[in-house]
Amino acid sequence: MTPGSRSAGDRLTAQLAVSGVTLRYAAESGPVTAVDNVSFTIGKGERLVLLGPSGCGKSSLLRAVGGFLRPVSGEIRLDDAAVTGPGPDRMMVFQEFDQLLPWRTVAGNVEFALRRARHLSAAEARTVARDWIGRVGLSKFATAFPHTLSGGMKQRVAIARAFAVQPAILLMDEPFAALDALSRGRMQDELLALCQETGATTLFVTHAIDEALHVGTRILVLSANPGRVAAEYGVPEAAADRGAAQLAKLQADIQAVIFAGHGPMDDRDIAHA
């Protein structure tokens, strides 16, 4: 067992189970294996981070859990039901800022998701949307359209929409990668606070070690070309257990795994290592 990882007995009851999943995509030279025989579980309330160098299949795994990519072998189960396609029990937040409906206001985007996913009445959706828009600090912008918002504000809307639907699991694909350093840090803090408040189960993809340590309760490090599980680490959640020395040791261990023949880090990885 990798130092810092949890034993099977320490884990929460599995909510998501990824078992022996292999993913391939077509290329001019022939089929390319993006992920090879990957298995992991996520318990209710956990925040599992998929971390690794560029090309390790992190986003492909996330899309497979979201039901947008079908494995060539293996199985994905959520609450013991096979994942065969997209569904409202999995809400995704991407790094792109164009994930909002441009013809709907901030409130309209959240309300639309609530009416589609939770089948709320217009009045109920309006009330729930107002609450979540307030939680992410955008009450004054409820009637604004996406093109008038900054990148960080758009991500807040996407996060409010995802939490409002109350999915079984949140799927987040490098949601803060396109933000400046200050905005990224603030958004990480806000996401962490919302997850701790709601107990949301989260699968989070990032290339940045410091971000993984900040938002995750557990980290799965993937090797590159194709992606395989290289190591697993538990991250202390209690503030008293998150000493600088301990986090620095975890960061050094993870960085060593990534550099140890599991694929080169790109400039973004190095910048955040």
Tell me whether residue 3 is in a domain: no
The whole-number pLDDT of residue 242 equals 72
Average pLDDT over residues 130-158: 94
Q: Could you tell me if 162 and 177 lie in one domain?
A: no
Which residue segment(s) compose the domain that 177 sits in? 8-89+168-272
Residues 85 and 177 in one domain: yes
Question: Do 174 and 157 have their domain in common?
Answer: no
If asked whether residues 69 and 40 sit together in one domain, one would say yes
Per-residue model confidence as pLDDT tens digits over 172-222? 999 888 888 888 898 899 999 999 999 999 999 998 999 999 999 999 999
Shared domain check, 172 and 246: yes
Quickly state the pLDDT bin for 15 (edges 50, 70, 90).
Answer: very high
pLDDT at site 241:
66
pLDDT, tens only, 253-265: 999 998 875 444 4
Same domain, 185 and 155: no
Distance of alpha carbon 73 from alpha carbon 111, whole angstroms: 37
Question: Does 39 share its domain with 155?
Answer: no
Tally of domains within the chain: 2
Q: Is the model's pLDDT at 244 over the cut of 90?
A: no
142 and 204 share one domain? no
Residue with the bigger pLDDT between 233 and 179: it is 233
Query: Looking up tokens 């991500």, which residue turns up?
Result: 155
CA distance 58 to 224: 10
* Residue 239: per-residue pLDDT: 59
